[in-house]
Structure 1
């Protein structure tokens, strides 16, 4: 819950943030131009910074990692293909064992 609150503080009103699994969220960023990848990386970096601050759980500071998968569509990409690409990118980061982001362009 606290992680979702931190993420919701980063997104714009025109963006859509949704929890799709136990600890998985999807963020749909709209109104992007030819600098979509730069915007996505900027948002990812803000998410990483937000999770650098420990969470307090029963008075104990807990540090959580975050793995971010970014999918950039070509204007013709389906929602399923974008979600699948973002999932692949996220698992690429998870395999490193540290927080970060990875991008797949369709």
Structure 2
């Protein structure tokens, strides 16, 4: 991301636009927004902080029911010390969808 953002200082308008597009695409692939990137790192509530990693691991126990994007997203979270409130929301949403998929 740092290399891409460095291109925003280019004198070439096309390079600036391409860098902005690439940075936005990178955020989207990782389930993030610019607000997630620029907002201060606020830890999740205590109960979420205790359980987010366990819920991610639990979700990954059903790889056949997860989309490729969901698998990548969850696996990437395991490399983090903390997750954002938006990422926590997505983890719980995936867990709910897995419950529904398993019920079929």
Q: Which range, TM-score by smaller chain?
A: under 0.3
More helix by share: 2
More strand by share: 1
TM-score for both structures, normalised by structure 1: 0.26
RCO higher in structure (CA 8 A, sep ≥6): 2
Structure index of larger Rg? 2
